[in-house]
Structure 1
Amino acid sequence: MKNYRTRKELKREVKILLKKDLGQALMLYLIMILLSIANIFYSKSETSAATLTYDPATLYLHSFKLVSTGGIIGIILIVLFLSVFFRSLDWLRNPDLDFSPLKSNFTYYRNPDWWHLIVIYIIKRFFIILWLLLLVFPGYIKICSYSQAYFIYKDVQAKGDGDKYAFTDYITKSRQLMDGNKWRYFVLQLSYIGWYLLGYITFGIALIWVIPYVCMTNANFYKDLVERNPDII
């Protein structure tokens, strides 16, 4: 049995990094924080807890009614959010990393292959919808299974092996990486409920801490998975 870090350990590592340079984290997540606060006022009938079973890239994105209907705004936000998550992973791997937090929001807009992220998102949603049409519970299991596809794409591209992969391969690799880890991931998402509610009842003020904390902890979960399963990626 692999010696994975516990939820407490994953969260503690993120807290240490955030306390070390909270200003850097706030600038990195500033756009996401502002959009999430706007979303609270836009739709008081929905809380962030409703996004529990979604992967990091749709953690806040999915609850935006304007985005969930699709369109150019949704595409813009998907690429922006993933750029932030990817930079967070880099930062966790190198706590002394020197980077421009605001510019990091637009990293993948400058990448000619930015559309790859959109294709992976569409494929994931398609597969998940098919599973949900069969039964709700298997659909939720697949949401967890496919949750690491974007991070896998990032690492594969960084290694220069992107040409060897089809878009569906990232989902397959995520499923392999999450084998035996879906429950751990699901419980990790459940552990954020209190933080989501805090962000909601404070009209978004608490999200200044909550969003970087949650998103970076999810990135740290992936980092731990890959370190324990180097043969998969």
Structure 2
Amino acid sequence: MNELEPISIREMKREARDLYRGHWGTAIKLNILPIVAVVGSFFFVSLIMAVVVYSLTQGTINGSEVAGQADTSSDNNSVVFSVISDGIGMLFTWSIAWGIVDWFKQPKADQHFKQSLQIFSNGKFWQSFLLALVQNILIYLWTLLFIIPGIIKTFSYSQTYYAYKRDLDQGKRANSLTDYITTSRRVMDGRKWELFLLELSFIGWYILGFLTAGIGYIWIIPYVTGTRVAYSRRLFGDDQSTQSERIVQERTI
């Protein structure tokens, strides 16, 4: 068996930065939905925590009453809702990543916000939703075995979005939607730990985003998305040599 050539985390990050250089405003625009969601959630949680702390210090909340309200019963409806809502969230994540994929292909072209919502305009919404739903169901089922198998399968299925995007761009159609999940499993064979390390390398940035009261995520989220796309392009061999060098050359012509 041939040993896989490692993909440099540092190089993938550099490709993302090279793509965004001088165009961070565009990168933020394409990622505005997750940015608003993350920053908004940060402020909402902070507000709730502040209210709870204030209430506790004022003695208006009885600790035993709070504990007594915890509901540990299993609710099938909540599970179904969670899987479906996660599938919808995955659709938006895919669509935003697809916009970055298109940007890598044409770094000199004007980038518009609608590119991050292309999943609603490419005529494949329900097909895409079904694929995202199937992927989430599979991950959920693996998670039931234990947390670790679910995490492993999350990395194993991580390239489904890119395999699917390639066929959409080429007007192709797999025999079944699960073929894209199979493709992701195949290309990630032997690389799940590598991708885990790539994700782990952003931990410092996530901490910085937290320390800046969520403001730092305005730049961190596009950076992470761009790096993930750069990794996918290298994984599938679609970067045609060194992508960062090609971008720099095109912008200097």
**What's the TM-score, normalizing by structure 1?**
0.79
Please name the residue that 1:88 is paired with: 100
Corresponding position of 1:65: none
1:207 aligns with 2:209: no
Question: Deviation string for 1:102-146 (max 9, x for gaps)?
Answer: 122221212221122221121111111222222322221111100
Cα distance in 2 for partners of 1:40, 1:228 equals 36
Q: Which amino acid aligns with 2:222?
A: P
Whether the 8 Å CA contact 2:86–2:136 is kept in 1: the answer is no
CA distance in 2, matches of 1:106, 1:229: 23
Match of 2:156 in 1: 145
1:176 positional shift:
0.2
CA distance in 1, matches of 2:83, 2:142: 20
Counterparts of 1:27-176 in structure 2 under 5 Å? 27-44=29-46, 69=82, 75=88, 77-100=89-112, 102-162=113-173, 164-176=174-186
Secondary structure at the counterpart of residue 5 of structure 1: coil
- Matched to 2:25, the amino acid is G
Q: CA deviation at 1:160?
A: 1.6
Give the direction of change, closer, same or farther, for the CA distance of 1:79–1:124 in structure 2 (3 Å limit): closer
How much has 1:31 moved relative to structure 2?
2.4
Note the alpha carbon deviations across 1:48-77, whole angstroms, 9 max, x for none. Answer: xxxxxxxxxxxxxxxxxxxx74667973x5
- The root-mean-square deviation of aligned C-alpha atoms, in Å, is 2.6
Whether the 8 Å contact between 1:124 and 1:146 is mirrored in structure 2 is yes
- Evaluate the alpha carbon distance shift between residue 43 and residue 165 of structure 1 in structure 2; reply closer, same or farther with a 3 A threshold: farther
Which residue of structure 2 aligns with residue 23 of structure 1?
Answer: 25
**Residues 142 and 153 in structure 2, CA contact (< 8 A), matched pair in contact too:** yes
Q: Which amino acid aligns with 1:188?
A: L
Q: How far 1:94 sits from its partner (Å)?
A: 2.8
Q: Is the 8 A contact 1:145 1:175 kept in 2?
A: yes
Larger Rg: 2
Compared with structure 1, are the counterparts of its residues 97 and 3 closer, same or farther at alpha carbon in structure 2 (3 Å cutoff)?
farther
The 8 Å contact of residues 151 and 222 in structure 1, kept in 2 or not, is answered as: yes
Q: Contact 1:4–1:224 at 8 Å: present in 2 too?
A: no
SS at match of 2:7: coil
Maintained 8 Å contact 1:83/1:105: yes
TM-score normalised according to structure 2 size: 0.73
Q: Which runs of 5+ in 2 are unaligned?
A: 49-80, 241-253
Gaps of 5+ in 1: 46-67
Q: SS at 1:127's partner residue?
A: helix
